[in-house]
A and B are shown apart, each in its own frame.
Chain A
């Protein structure tokens, strides 16, 4: 306890030097906590964007349907399983590749055929910003992503033509009125999607009861894996035609994107590691200077009977305190930024949203506060600082007291 108190006093002996040395640690740890919170937020963002617009909590597909999320082969559409016994909400859908033509402009689009009585139970439309009204059941109408509408110059009430292949591979094209412009949690949908009622899609695609996806809502992402396993085990996924549909949780659906985020985490760790190594050298330099400047004082402590290991411990504790102190400040600053953006969100510019292209991501990223990187970075900082203090501690502990007490 006494060594701790003495070490603390020594740290403030040269406040300016202590502050400068601490700055690198503060910066490194703030960066780590903030970076981690941002990447965790991106994870949440991906998962939320996918869950609320395309996958639900669990997404079912016909057995041969591709899972890359990039191709939407209608020929793989199949009669869906009845899901008898499943108590959650279900939203059968047909996703299809389409071309939207508006006057002389045309663009590739993702057609989303939905069941109007079921879809909103899985996909929380109240979170979306909708201009206009959703398509009427008896009319040839569609809703369109607002970014796509801007791209094509489409306004509410405008007529567009949707070209697509039917289930049998024949080309078809029908005209629809755009009754709603939709802004979801998912920039990918806003850039590409056209929502069409299932009955209208039947006419365009000749579906004959076939579907490409069923999204399930099970009341929270945490339960998804358990529910998915139960569904698979119960045989519920077997359709009337004998084909067994596949089931993936949202997290599994977003695995590739989450893997990219894991790479980002590693990159942050490497960057912070480099910063902390530089900070460690700074701490080593500071503690070495302190040891050289205080040779006579060390000699005095030895003369007074302080044990060599206690003298060494004094310098180790000084280094550790420097690391922990700077770590607490850095982690606090990083945490404050994470908590601020967790509430207020980081709004991505429209240009950035266009650039992110095919990723499901919302235009507002909320960072995610997590204690693990805070404690992890504090421990890392204390470790680096203590490591950096090993040499000065060894130097101080091995001084000859007879020489040291008379040092200049």
Chain B
């Protein structure tokens, strides 16, 4: 369990269960999970495969609805939102970074980033500058016109980060963002994410089972078999390094 920091939580899961039908059986992916995430966190959801990491991120990311329980994002119960409203929340408030990068292959790096900004409904004025700035911030100014197939894995993930950042979301969800990268690129991507978190205060939630990734998290929520089995702020972190309103793990 967590205790609250100052202000309101960015998102809050209360006794959330998620069931998936599988043939005649029902698989319980989450078995009554409660957790709060505060603005500015850099939090890892850690656990082995099948522990429920991705399911939690799907729910927080408004990609899915809980079978039971409440999921609040910025105070709104997302389980009550219609599909189109969920889409709006995703478009405006949440950025995604995927394990397999998930760039649109027929679009250039610039266009991939521009797509996210366009879908967010952002003002068209200044769009070009924002896209270019996002790509510059991830070090890809010289690769804007390249398509994903012409970029390395690390570069593709940087484009994905730029795509997530360009709309200045409240929350970025990264599902095993370094799983398809070598250790050097993986570390570079994590450093980049951490810098974005530190510079902009953007909240990052990511799933992982990689100790290297976990070592860089400010908070680690451990999952096993659909339940939270640990929620900790690593002792190595100095108090000033902790998230601005980070809870104390319990």
Contact (Cβ within 8 A) A304 B105: no
Distance from B10 Cβ to chain A, minimum over Cβ atoms (Å): 18
A252 CB, nearest partner CB in chain B, Å: 59
Of all chain B residues, which has the CB nearest A296?
A: B102
B96–chain A nearest beta-carbon distance, Å:
5
| CB-based contact B96/A304 at 8 Å | yes
Residue of A nearest to B91 (CB): A305
Cα separation A406 to B103 with both chains bound (whole Å):
13
Residue A255, interface by CB 8 Å: no
Q: Which residues of A contact B91 (CB under 8 A)?
A: 304-306
- Contact count A vs B, C-beta below 8 Å: 70
> With A and B bound together, what is the CA distance between A402 and B104 in angstroms?
17
A400 and B20 CA atoms in complex are apart in Å by 13
Q: Which residues of chain B have C-beta atoms less than 8 A from A9's C-beta?
A: 106-107
- A303 within 8 A of partner (CB): yes
Cβ of A198 to closest chain B Cβ, rounded Å: 78
Check B63–A401 contact: CB distance below 8 A.
Answer: yes
Residues of A close to B61: CB separation below 8 A: 303
Residues of chain B with a CB closer than 8 A to A371's CB: none
Q: What is the size, in residues, of chain B's interface with A at 8 Å between Cβ atoms?
A: 29
Instruction: Kindly supply a per-residue 1/0 record for chain A positions 364-408, scoring 1 wherever the CB is within 8 Å of any chain B CB and 0 otherwise.
Output: 000000000000000000000000000000000000111001100
Closest to A311 in B: B87
- A308 on the B face (CB < 8 A): yes
Tell me whether A300 is interfacial, beta carbon within 8 Å: yes
- Minimum CB–CB distance from A400 to chain B (whole Å) comes to 7
Q: Do the beta carbons of A306 and B87 come within 8 Å of each other?
A: yes
Residue with the greatest number of chain B CB neighbours at <10 A, chosen from A10, A296, A308, A402? A402
Is the beta-carbon distance between B87 and A297 smaller than 8 angstroms?
A: no
A302 contacts B by Cβ under 8 Å = yes
CB contact list, B79-107 vs A, under 8 A: 83-84, 87-88, 90-92, 96, 98-100, 102-107
Segment touching A, from B112-120, B130-138, B183-191, B239-247: B112-120
- Is B54 interfacial (CB 8 A cutoff)? yes
Per the bound structure, the CA–CA distance linking A254 and B106 in Å amounts to 58
- Determine whether the beta carbon of A300 is less than 8 Å from that of B102: yes
In the complex, are the beta carbons of A305 and B92 less than 8 A apart? yes
Report if A6-B98 is in contact (Cβ < 8 Å); known contacts: A307-B87, A400-B64.
Answer: no
Q: Which of B88, B106, B163 has the most CB of A within 10 A?
A: B106
| CB-based contact A296/B63 at 8 Å | no
Q: Is A13 an interface residue (CB 8 A)?
A: yes
Residues B102 and A405 in contact, CB atoms below 8 Å apart: yes
Chain B residues with CB under 8 A of A402:
58, 63-64
Contact B104 A305 (CB under 8 A): no
Interface size (A, Cβ < 8 Å)? 23
User: Are A300 and B98 also in contact (CB < 8 A) when A305-B119, A308-B87 are?
Assistant: yes
Convert B119-158 into 0s and 1s, putting 1 for each residue whose CB lies closer than 8 angstroms to a CB of A.
1100000000000000000000000000000000000000
Report the Cα distance A305→B167, complex, angstroms. 12
Smallest distance from the beta carbon of B214 to chain A beta carbons, Å? 21
Quick check: A305 and B87 within 8 Å, CB to CB? yes
Query: What's the least CB distance linking B145 to chain A, in Å?
Result: 14
Across the interface, do B106 and A306 meet the contact criterion of CB distance under 8 Å? no
- Residue picked from A13, A302, A303, A307, most chain B C-beta under 10 Å: A303
Q: Which residues of B contact A405 (CB under 8 A)?
A: 63, 96, 98, 102, 175
Contacts of A307 in B (CB 8 A): 84, 87
Give the residue of B84, B106, B115, B175 whose beta carbon is less than 8 angstroms from that of A10: B106
Query: Are A303 and B64 within 8 A (Cβ)?
Result: no
For the complex of A and B, 6 pairs with smallest distance between CB atoms: A305-B91, A9-B106, A402-B64, A402-B63, A402-B58, A300-B102
* Residues of chain B whose beta carbon lies under 8 Å from any beta carbon of chain A: 54, 58, 61, 63-64, 83-84, 87-88, 90-92, 96, 98-100, 102-107, 115-116, 118-120, 163, 175
Besides A303-B61, A306-B119, 15 more A-B contacts (Cβ < 8 Å) are A2-B118, A6-B106, A12-B106, A299-B102, A301-B104, A303-B63, A303-B96, A304-B90, A304-B116, A304-B163, A305-B88, A308-B83, A402-B58, A405-B98, A405-B175
Residues of A in contact with B (beta carbons under 8 Å apart): 2, 6, 9-10, 12-13, 296-297, 299-308, 400-402, 405-406
Give 29 CB contacts A-B under 8 Å: A2-B115, A2-B118, A6-B107, A13-B106, A296-B102, A297-B105, A300-B96, A300-B104, A301-B104, A303-B61, A303-B90, A303-B102, A304-B90, A304-B96, A304-B115, A304-B116, A304-B163, A305-B88, A305-B119, A305-B120, A306-B87, A306-B119, A308-B87, A401-B64, A402-B64, A405-B96, A405-B98, A406-B99, A406-B175
